[in-house]
Amino acid sequence: MQSERQPPSPPEREERAIEEARAMFERAEASWQRQLEGEEAASASGSRVWRTLLLAVAIIALLFLLFQQLTLSG
Confidence of residue 2 (pLDDT cuts 50, 70, 90): low
- Domain assignment present for residue 1? The answer is no
- Domain assignment present for residue 68? The answer is yes
Least confident of 3-17, 28-42, 55-69: 3-17
Which amino acid, residue 68? Answer: Q
- Domain assignment present for residue 69? The answer is yes
Rounded to whole angstroms, how far apart are CA atoms 36 and 29? 10
Give the pLDDT of residue 3: 61
Q: Domain total for the chain?
A: 1
- Domain assignment present for residue 23? The answer is yes
Rounded to whole angstroms, how far apart are CA atoms 19 and 72? 79
CA angle 65, 66, 71 (to 5 degrees): 95
Confidence of residue 54 (pLDDT cuts 50, 70, 90): very high
